[in-house]
Every structure is written in C-alpha cells, then in structure tokens.
Amino acid sequence: MYLIGNIALILGIVISLYSLAANIVGLKRKDRRWLESARGGIMSLAFVTSIAAFLLFYILGTSQFQYQYVAAYTNSQLPLIYKLAAFWAGNAGSLLLWTFLLSIYAAIIVFNKKKQNSMIPYVSIILLLNMLFFYIVMVFNANPFEMTDTIPADGKGLNPMLQNPGMVIHPLTLYMGYVGLAVPFAYAIAALLMKKMDAQWIKLTRRWTLTAWLFLTLGNIIGGWWAYLELGWGGYWAWDPVENASFLPWLTVSAFLHSVMIQERKGMLRTWNLSLIILSYILSLFGTFLVRSGILTSVHAFGDSNLGTYFLVFMAFMMLFAIYVVATRYQLIKKESKPIEAYFSKESSFLLNNFILVAAAFAVFWGTMYPLISETITGTKVNVGAPYFNKVMAPIMLALILLMAICPLIAWQKAVFDRFIKNMLAPLLTAIAFAIILVAIGVKGLYAIIGLTVTVFMFAVHLTEFWRGICARRKATKEGFLKAAIQLTRKNQRRYGGYIVHIGIAIIAVGVISSQAYSQEVMKTVNKGETFKVGHYDLTFKNLAETNKNGNGIVYANLDITYKGKDDGSIKPEKIFYATWPEPSTEVAIKSNWKEDLYVVLSSWESKDKVTFVVKINPFVSWIWAGGIIMLIGTAIALLGGKTTSSLRVKSQQAGGQK
C-alpha cells in the first residue's frame, strides 16, 4: 500500500511534466500526435490520482495506524463516516483532495474528442502547472502515505469540533469551489495567449464558473451552520481569517458573474472581466495558503505547517505570469473593448455592483491581513476583530442590496427615467409601508429598520418582476398562472434563476440583520428545580446527569421549556469529554421555529444541583439557512439555462494546421 501510494504520487509528477512538454511541443510543431499524447497524459493523471485518493480512503477507513496521517487524525473509536472525512482533516489529505478534484476537472475538459477546440492545449498547460505544483508539495513536504517510526496502538483521533456532519460536506464543497475557479482562469489565460479577445472563453466556462460559485455558496452556508451548531457562541460567522478566505473569492466571482453578461451582450469590460477571474483564482490559492500556512490565528488553520512558503511562491508565480500575459495583450484587449454608452443603464448599474463587491472584497482582505501588516510594520500584532468587519461591511452590504433592488428596473443600453420611476413605485410603497408597520409595533433600532426596509424593497422588486412577466405571458398564451410561471422561468433560466438567487439573498439578509440587532443573551446560574426567564421562554432546570457513548463521557442537563406559559417540551445541552482530547466539546441544544431559535449552552457546574447556562434567543436565524437553499435552487436553474457549451464549440479551430 505504501509503495503503491508513493508510486502514484511520483507518477503524478512524471506524467504532469510529460503532458506539459507534449502540449508545448505539439503547439510549437503544430503536431496533433503530441497533443493527443498530452491528452492521454491528462486522462492517466486522473486515473493515478484516483488510485491515490482511493488508497487514502482505504487506509483511513481500515484504521491502518502505521501511516502517520491515519494515526494523526483518526482512532479506532471514531465512526466510519468521520474516519473517511479525515481525508481532508489535515494538510496532506487536503492537498490530495485538491489534486484529485483538479485532475477530474481536467479529464472532463479533454475527455470527449468531439468537444475539443483550439484552446484546450493551452487550458491543459495551465491546469497541468497547478497539478504539478500539488504533486511536488505532496511528494516533498506533505505525503499522505508517510509511515510512522513505531506503530501506535491507537490514533490521536479527530478534533471533536470536526466530528459533525458539517465536516463531511463543508470542506468538500469549498474545495470544489476553489478548484473549479482554476478552469475559467485557465481558459482566460488560454484566450490571452492565443490573442482571442472575444467572449468565447466566457461562454465556454459559464457553467464551470457558476458551478464553482454554487459550491462556494454552499460551502460558506454550511460552514456558518456548522459554526452555529458546534462552536457554542451562538453566532454563525465570526470573521475568522479562514472564513474570510472562502468569502473573498465568492465576492469577486459574484462580481464576475454579473459583469460577463455585459461582455457577452455588448462586448464591454473585457479587461475588467479578465482581471476579476484572475483575482478570483489567486484568492482561491490565497485561501488555501491561509489555511496551510497558519500565519494567522484561526480555529480552522493548520498552524504547524511550513507549506505556506510553497503556496506563497506558487501564488506569486501564477499572479506575475497572469499579469505579464494581460500586460502584453493590453493594447489588443483595449482595441476590442467598447465603452459604456449611458450612465443610466443596466450596464452602468452592473459596473457599480462590481465596484461594491470588489470594495467589499478589499475591506475583508484588509481586515484579515491587518494583524500581519501591523506586526510587520510595528512589531505588534493588532487584531481588528468582528467590530471592524461589522462596521465596514454593514453599509457596503446595504448599498449592494439597494442596488440589487434597482438593477432589475433599469433597461439595457439607455434607461428611460419615467418608466424606471413607474416600475419602482409599487415595491417602494410596499417597503415604506413595511417600515411604518415596524415603527408602529414598537420595533427599535434605526439602522436595523433601514436595513430591513431596503431588503423588503429588494424582495418586492423581484416579486413584481416575476408578476409582470407571468401576467404578460398569460396575456399572450392564455396559460394558467402556475404553467405561465414555470414556462416563464424555463424560457429564460439565466434571468429568473438569478432573480431567485436574489430572493434567497433577501431572506438571508432578514436573518442576518434581525439576529444581529435583536438577539438576547442571558448567563444564569440556577439550582435544581429553579426556573428562569429569557424573553417569552421559561426554562426549568430538572437535573444534571452523565452517560457514555462511543467511549466518550457525556454530561448533560435536562431543562423543561414553556413558551408564553404553554408547555414547549424539553431541551438537553451537553458537554462531551473525549478520551483523546484535552478539552470537552460543547453540544448546543436548539429549539427552533420560523421566527427564532432558543439556543442553550451548558456552560459549567459547581455540583449536580447547581449549573450555569448561557441562553440566547436568536431571531430569524432559520431564515439564513432557508435563504441559502433558495439561492442554491436559483443557481441550479440558472446553471441549466442559457446556451450550452456544445453550441459554442469550434470544431474547425483545431490548433490550425496540426498534422
């Protein structure tokens, strides 16, 4: 097993180098045989990487503690699902996951001969450079098949915080997003190398980009849900450096997905789009660098690694290479670009949307890196923390939501102001009425009311757009309401899929604003049988007890709950003591309904009869998860719509003149 695993990694380097050379020779000599050989090399790489990945799964699942990686992240008591999920619990496994996903993506791109076009060899070269880097790092620095000097009787086990269903999905989805960004980046660089300044690379990679964005969205939402359940502080986003690292490419890809529509329709913003996708790819490497290097303190980071140097060098190389390619083609890009014709147009509003998203990315980047910058300049590390991010990001996000409300009402090329006002009137009046109701029922907090009002405005605009579209279709086709709604969405999946994504964002915004502005928290020490009140809830401490599960000791408290005087069941927060871990893990108890969560943490105890609880009431948190699901549905609809890649394939452009 050791031999097969290491041979697979070394073969990865050899095949990557050969395929790179074969592509370069094939392009230089215009020889189809070399390009075909390189294509075979990429397919072989996917096979070899799959073997390595399967082997790692196997040795993890069968607890083969003679391997350092298995002994470091699993033990014999660990459930099988977490043994397998330990694949991405450490550096070596995560790097293999990166390589495995990238090799599969590359194989999909080159697999079907009928789908080939002249860009593929250049795209392959960029992807092969990435794979070569990861193979080199694994062989020389983080080998998942490294053996231990002496075989331990049992492994150290998995960090208790990672023993959650989130561990199975969250890292995997984020990696699928990160790795997916390498594909549009590779196409963008290929287009530049070939001096093809049209929108073909964008059309060919639209689904790749949207899929990467979908997985980044999914990863971020699952990460928030996981933190909410597992960390015990009652929040879902702590502006942790590693959280920020996954948020950064999400922001820039969000900008890219909007601005590419302008290039596809109008031939504008070519340089901007290239810059955005290059930036997104670099940020995906930056995210991996942050996690691997441990240069910033984070609950997610692998802080004892020197992998950061490898990533820093590779990131700098790819960034300088991309900048060089753009700079040498800049005049050509500029020549092909068209200026925006009117300030009051959808094109301008999309550009403004891009500026806001990029400003948000810069603010997050600056806050994340400030501790490192301050330490470099002054010798003292200064953490800016959540107050900085909340203060800076709140107005930026508010401006973004307002723009998302206005954008659908503005026409392409040149909007007519009177029509814009007419279309905006009903949603605006709805939002104003909502604000008046909030004030009338005694809701406090000016900024929260403004935020919720703008969100309702955005929500109303999108519902109105759906309503207008359905009415127009029903008038033309005489279809029923439901059929008209389905057909309307089906006929223009990109547009209405996007609107559904925006509605999901509005629902998330309601959850975020409400839970930030109106949450309540109480820390209370109570005796057995004592009742205490939090909001409309009465909690009665019944008893503290102990049990055992999977070899771990569990201490839990039983509490009876009443809501507005009515029985609402019971709740059981826990502390789990792992035999292989020094600190106990907190298992939060949550009672959730559509408008709020009762969030109870067993904080500490003096005796079996005297216990301290931390209790929070978090309004509308469940809306965040619901909004995330709606975003995913909208993205899936948009993903299935639009012109297919196959319709854009250029069959006659097979590396002109190849033999």
* Gap between the Cα atoms of 309 and 303, Å rounded: 13
Q: Is 19:38 a contact under the CB 8 Å cutoff?
A: yes
Asked whether the CA dihedral 631, 637, 638, 644 is positive or negative, the reply is: positive
Give residue 198's identity as a one-letter amino acid code. D
Q: Which segments of 73-189 are extended strands (E)?
A: none
CB half-sphere exposure, 275, CA atoms < 13 A: 12
Question: What's the chain's length in residues?
Answer: 659
The domain segmentation of the chain, as residue ranges, is 1-158, 392-518+626-641, 520-621
Q: What angle do CA 53, 55, 60 make, to 5 degrees?
A: 100
Residue 656: per-residue pLDDT:
40
Residue 249: per-residue pLDDT:
95
Q: What share of the chain is helix, strand, coil (3-state, %, to 5)?
A: 65, 10, 20
Q: Is 637:561 a contact under the CB 8 Å cutoff?
A: no
Residue 655: per-residue pLDDT:
40
Token digits for 34? 């070399």
What are the two backbone dihedrals, phi and then psi, of residue 567, each rounded to the nearest 5 degrees? Answer: -60, 130
Asked whether the CA dihedral 623, 220, 501, 446 is positive or negative, the reply is: positive
Q: DSSP string spanning 50-95? A: HHHHHHHHHHHHTT-TTBHHHHHH--TTS-HHHHHHGGGTSHHHHH
Q: What is the pLDDT of residues 95-128, one digit of tens each?
A: 999 999 999 999 999 987 666 678 999 999 999 9
Given a cut of 70, the residues of the chain with pLDDT beneath it are 113-116, 292-305, 642-659
Q: Helices 200-230 and 621-640, interaxial angle, to 10°?
A: 160
* Gap between the Cα atoms of 436 and 282, Å rounded: 46
Q: Is 258:353 a contact under the CB 8 Å cutoff?
A: yes
Give residue 87's identity as a one-letter amino acid code. F
Question: Model-level pTM?
Answer: 0.91
